[in-house]
């Protein structure tokens, strides 16, 4: 849809659009704007996470959807105490990886320091800002409370010339950190706390990652943000809900000086995903407490971690799109994110075989010195992915959990006397179980049916189970890292009983050092993604070294057997499985309660 189309009916076609896109469509239709300019404004003091992904998709998405529009990447770098170039680089990499491009429009709030300073001077000249000598505690004490108004600073009514002089001396470095601040003169009795004479500038004698020692006074967010938006010609300044209270302030600043454009702030609910946390403080605790290995530990909710884990950016974008934009608080189930990740991976990623917990199988009627190459389909979802050759020989590995000596009813895998299919290979029948002194199964003996080469029986004999396998002689050893959620609860409480330790999932990382992979993995490089058939999607980790592959499990496959097995107890039957009718009754009961 274009703005022109919308104009023809005198209004915008907004059905199905979220509230922000509706506002934008209307602004375009009414002629208030002829293009959309948005910005994504991260502070370079940490890594981007899932929550940011949704803001990025919104900011850049809305620009991409409209003609002549654009989205700026602006680093909101007004606090040298916490900001570093390392984060600037990381954030740029993450945004690019997610699939967005800011073109020429890479900006920094620090680029506007001189202009911003000019606006502050103008406020002082107008009598709308003053230098306050109170210290931090005094300012806090005079701020009032949520229900009581604040009290005015004794320095509130200094003359403009005195304020100008003081502010100049602040800039010149004559005062120490915290000795003086510049405040707006608004209303100490405002019910919106943000309006009670907010601080515009504070003294911080610290080097800034871009401006170095040029400044020792730095602007605060509220003062800097709207002006930066105006300076860049931002039309719609999208931010999260917690800034809603600040909107009157955003507008107030813009009202006080002449700017070349008038941006509008619109707030939306930030995105949260179950079983994870995204606060910078919590992320830092995980990292510094050694609970994760790094900022891009695949269990982290950071984009860097998701990249390392193997999440495709298209999947994350699809997820954000599906979740939508609104103002009601969102806590999205992880399953929803995983669905979109799997959906992309299923279509795009080549299949391979690998055994994560190997059990040796000897095929007794297969000649000792023989080997052959069997053709296997690379991706049943994508014919163009072609086929590959997989070596087969007398000794193979199968997954330990694919064999049970005393199988429950619906267990379609290997058991004594039972015949199964080896994927892309042959039917095999288990003839003997070999155990060690402790009674643990250490090896299986099988026979194969040469007539079933490729996996079909000429006599039409059916087999229920298909197992993945790897030829022992040809196998590549690897380390496989299986991940579960970092936290046990949907909404982890790091400060509850037992603290962080109690909130963490003890099996968030399971390392399998003895995995065996088919030789097609020979040339695999870090970042490459595969599906290990019947197990899940995996990505080659950056910890890999030549001859020492490390695989991250991106996501498991949907596993209906796991559900049956779990729900039905050790024998796999589930007599208490509720019928549809019972389900309905259950639901009814719930509603009544």
Q: Which of 72, 55, 45 is nearest to 20 (CA)?
A: 55
And the tokens for 190? 């405002």
Q: Collapsing DSSP states into helix, strand and coil, what is residue 277?
A: coil
**How far is Cα of residue 352 from the mean position of the Cα atoms in its chain?**
26
Pick from 162, 187, 245, 314: which binds RNA (CB under 7 A)?
A: 245
**Cα 149 → chain centroid:** 41
Among 1, 23, 139, 257, binds RNA (CB under 7 A): 139
H-type alpha helices, 481-554: 499-503
Terminal alpha carbon distance of the chain: 48
The two three-digit tokens of residue 583, written as one number: 């389900």
Out of 459, 460, 580, 589, which residue is the one contacting RNA (CB under 7 A)?
Answer: 580
Catalytic residue selected from 270, 360, 400, 453: 270
By CB under 7 A, residue 326 contacts RNA: yes
379, 429, 447, 493: residue in contact with RNA (rule CB under 7 A): 379
**Shortest Å distance, C-beta 543 to RNA:** 25
The nearer residue to RNA, 324 or 526, going by C-beta atoms, is 324
Token pair 């209270």 is at which residue? 245
Q: Decide whether 16 or 570 has the Cβ nearer to RNA.
A: 16
Q: Does 493 bind RNA (CB under 7 A)?
A: no
Three-state secondary structure call for residue 60: helix
From 150, 151, 181, select the one nearest 166 (Cα to Cα): 181
383 is a contact residue toward RNA (CB under 7 A): no
CB atoms within 10 A of CB 582: 11
> Distance (Å, rounded) from C-alpha 515 to C-alpha 477?
6
Among 28, 98, 424, 444, binds RNA (CB under 7 A): 424
Q: Is 155 in the site for RNA (CB under 7 A)?
A: no
Q: What is the dihedral of CA 174, 179, 185, 190, to 10 degrees?
A: 160
CB of 166 to RNA, least distance (A): 13
Q: Does the annotation count 280 as an active-site position?
A: yes
SS (H, E, C) 391-446: EEECEEEEEHHHECCCCCCCCCCECCCCEEEECCCCEEEEEEEEECCCCCEEEEEE
Count of alpha carbons within 13 angstroms of residue 405, beta-carbon side: 10
Exactly one of 30, 143, 151, 493 binds RNA (CB under 7 A); that residue is 143
Closest approach of RNA to the CB of residue 260, in Å: 22
Site for RNA in 521-540 (CB under 7 A): 531, 533-534
Report if residue 251 touches RNA, rule: CB under 7 A.
no
Mark whether 43 is an active-site residue.
Answer: yes
Taking the complex as a whole, the smallest distance from the CB of residue 18 to RNA amounts, in Å, to 5
Q: What track of x and - describes contact with RNA for positions 272 through 301 (by CB under 7 A)?
A: ------------------------------
* Segment 67 to 106, residues that bind RNA, using CB under 7 A: 76, 78-79, 81-82
* Catalytic-residue membership of 270: yes
By CB under 7 A, the count of residues binding RNA is 95
Torsion sign, CA atoms 382, 388, 394, 395: negative
Distance CA 115, CA 118 (A): 5
In the complex with RNA, the residue whose CB is nearer, 97 or 561, is: 561
Question: Is 267 or 541 the residue whose CB approaches RNA more closely?
Answer: 267
Contact track, RNA, 549-578, x by CB under 7 A? --------xxxxx-xx--x---------x-
- The catalytic residues are 43, 270, 280
């Amino acid at each position: 849809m274009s703005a022109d189309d919308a104009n023809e009916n005198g209004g915008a076609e907004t059905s199905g659009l979220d509230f922000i896109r509706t506002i934008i469509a209307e602004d375009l239709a009414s002629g208030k704007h002829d293009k959309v300019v948005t910005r994504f404004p991260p502070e370079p003091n940490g890594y981007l996470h899932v929550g940011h992904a949704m803001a990025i998709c919104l900011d850049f998405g809305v620009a991409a959807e409209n003609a002549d529009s654009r989205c700026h990447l602006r680093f909101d770098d007004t606090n040298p105490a916490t900001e570093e170039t390392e984060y600037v680089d990381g954030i740029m990499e993450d945004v690019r990886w997610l699939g967005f491009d800011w073109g020429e429009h890479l900006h920094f709030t620090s680029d506007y320091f001189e202009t911003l300073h000019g606006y502050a001077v103008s406020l002082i000249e107008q009598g709308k800002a003053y230098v306050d000598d109170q210290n931090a505690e005094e300012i806090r004490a005079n701020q009032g409370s949520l229900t009581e108004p604040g009290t005015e600073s004794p320095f509130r009514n200094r003359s403009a010339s005195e304020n100008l002089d003081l502010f100049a001396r602040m800039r010149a470095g004559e005062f120490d950190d915290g000795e003086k601040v510049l405040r707006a003169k608004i209303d100490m009795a405002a019910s919106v706390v943000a309006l009670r004479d907010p601080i515009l500038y504070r003294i911080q004698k610290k080097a800034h990652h871009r401006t170095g020692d040029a400044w020792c006074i730095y602007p605060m967010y509220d003062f800097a943000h709207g002006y930066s938006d105006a300076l860049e010609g931002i039309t719609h300044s999208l931010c999260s809900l917690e800034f809603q209270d600040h909107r009157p302030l955003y507008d107030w600043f813009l009202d006080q000086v002449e700017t070349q454009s008038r941006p509008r702030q619109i707030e939306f609910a930030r995105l949260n995903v179950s079983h994870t946390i995204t606060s910078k403080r919590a992320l830092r605790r995980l990292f510094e407490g050694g609970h994760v290995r790094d900022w891009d530990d695949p269990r982290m909710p950071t984009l860097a971690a998701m990249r390392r884990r193997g999440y495709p950016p298209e999947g994350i974008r699809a997820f954000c799109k599906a979740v939508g934009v609104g103002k009601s608080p969102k806590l999205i189930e992880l399953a929803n994110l995983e669905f979109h990740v799997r959906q992309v991976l299923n279509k795009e990623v080549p299949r391979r075989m690998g055994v994560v917990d190997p059990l040796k199988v000897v095929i007794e009627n297969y000649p000792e010195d023989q080997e052959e190459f069997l053709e296997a389909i690379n991706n049943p979802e994508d014919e163009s992915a072609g086929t590959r050759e997989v070596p087969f020989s007398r000794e193979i590995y199968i997954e330990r959990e694919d064999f049970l000596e005393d199988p429950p009813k619906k267990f379609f895998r290997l058991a004594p006397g039972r015949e199964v299919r080896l994927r892309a290979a042959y039917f095999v029948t288990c003839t003997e179980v070999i155990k060690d002194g402790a009674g643990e199964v250490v090896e299986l003996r099988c026979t194969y049916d040469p007539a079933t080469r490729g996996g079909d029986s000429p006599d039409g004999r059916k087999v229920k189970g298909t197992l993945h396998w790897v030829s022992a002689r040809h196998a590549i050893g690897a380390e496989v890292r299986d991940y579960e959620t970092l936290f046990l609860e949907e909404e982890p409480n790091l400060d509850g009983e037992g603290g962080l330790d109690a909130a963490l999932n003890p099996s968030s990382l399971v390392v399998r050092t003895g995995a065996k992979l088919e030789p097609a993995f020979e040339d695999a490089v870090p970042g490459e993604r595969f599906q290990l058939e019947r197990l899940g999607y995996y990505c080659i980790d950056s910890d890999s070294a030549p001859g020492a592959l490390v695989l991250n499990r991106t996501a498991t496959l949907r596993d209906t057997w796991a559900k049956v097995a779990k729900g039905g107890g050790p024998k796999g039957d589930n007599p208490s499985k509720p019928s549809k009718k019972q389900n309905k009754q259950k639901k009814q009961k719930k509603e009544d309660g």
